[in-house]
Amino acid sequence: MLRALALPALLLACAGAWAADAAPVPHIVAVKAAHMLDVRGGAMVDQAVVLIADDRITAAGSKLAIPAGAQVIDLGDKTLLPGLIDMHTHLTGNPEDAGYASVAISVPRATLTGARNALRTLNAGFTTVRNVGAEGYADIGLRDAINAGDVPGPRISASGPALGITGGHCDDTMHAPEYKLQAEGVADGVDEVLKRTRQVIKYGADVIKICATGGVLSFGDDPRASQYTLEEMKAIVGEAHRLGRKVAAHAHGGDGIRLAVLAGVDSIEHGSYIDDEDIKLMKEHKTWLVPTLYLGDWLIENAEAIKLPKPLLEKARVVLPAARRNVAHAIQQGVPVALGTDAAVYPHGLNAREFAVYVKLGMTPLQAIRSGTVNASQLLGWSDRVGAIEAGKFADLIAVNGNPLKDITELERVQWVMKGGAVVR
């Protein structure tokens, strides 16, 4: 009888031991570098060590003890920073697609273009992006493919089709009336915008993108003219927030910025004609500004090469220089800024050139770096995941040769990239 009882007990004990043996052991990596920037506190940490278990940071600091058996990555005299964040990209587009060239590009082709641009963006040190506008939900498909490990790329917060009015910046205004073409995100009136907001969320949108004013690279509209009404935008924002999504508003100026802020959007994209009233409102409502300024240099210089249509070039020559002046004033007045580039208006992979523009307009190098790290993660709502080299966050790291606090252009020459504990460059 005792033998009969002992055998099941022995089997249970063995099963427990086998289960314990089968428990996965975390892969420990230690990244060493001469320096590491604490983007939150602003200090440069010397003899830095970052400890990583699987895809997360477990500890970071100076001269940390490295566990026995850990894989050591020694970056020598390089400087570590958190992976960079771009809050305004269009991964599925290219600069040469502006104007009528876009007519020949199918959604499947744009999606494959996005896969290529995602890798370029990641290799440039941007381990997280917010993609604000893609037809056919191409950016959502790209996001899912990256998350599944099918293709390499940054973490993506994706919007799917941008919402806009009939004939506005987010509509198709290139075709003659007989084609009866309309962009996928077009919705007019409170009932329609409410339904469209729910629809894009249904199909996977992380964030809602709306067009509150006209734009530069669109035909027949004025960047200073508002498009959605206050009531329409309130309906969008209210529903998006109720369903746990933030709202990014393309808005250059006029009353469009003010209406969007009063409607409760989370960020103003571009802000080219931002004025003192807009600045006051944005500070009161804690609304983020996402400037996209380096594109002004590249687009004007390369307009002929990419065959930019003349009406769009004429708008660009007026709007883009004004944006530099007005955003500089907004920066000086303390509007909260998160870095965005509008990559696709210029080539993907050059995203980090945006930092130097912010410094030229009055930011310190540390403030500029924060715009593309901790600030951007806060606007995303991902402060617990990305934006700083801290325990518990994803092991998204980059390394540069010099000190970006002394030369911000070091960020344009990223030497090494890690995403989620895996070296990708």
Residues designated as active site: 209, 342
- Beta carbons within 10 angstroms of residue 191's beta carbon: 11
Measured between alpha carbons, how far is 220 from 175 in angstroms, rounded to an integer?
Answer: 12
SS (H, E, C) the chain: CHHHHHHHHHHHHHHHHHHHHHCCCCCEEEEEEEEEECCCCCCEEEEEEEEEECCEEEEEEECCCCCCCCEEEECCCCEEEECEEEEEECCCCCHHHCHHHHHHCCHHHHHHHHHHHHHHHHHCCEEEEEECCCHHHHHHHHHHHHHCCCCCCCEEEECCCCEECCCCCCCCCCCCHHHCCCCCCECCHHHHHHHHHHHHHHCCCCEEEEECECCCCCCCCCCCCECCCHHHHHHHHHHHHHCCCEEEEEECCCCHHHHHHHHCCCEEEECCCCCHHHHHHHHHHCCEEECCCCHHHHHHHHCCCCCCCHHHHHHHHHHHHHHHHHHHHHHHCCCCECCCCCECCCCCCCCCHHHHHHHHCCCCHHHHHHHCCHHHHHHHCCCCCCCCCCCCCECCEEEECCCCCCCHHHHHHCCEEEECCEECC
Alpha carbon separation from 93 to 107, 108, 338 (Å, rounded): 10, 12, 22
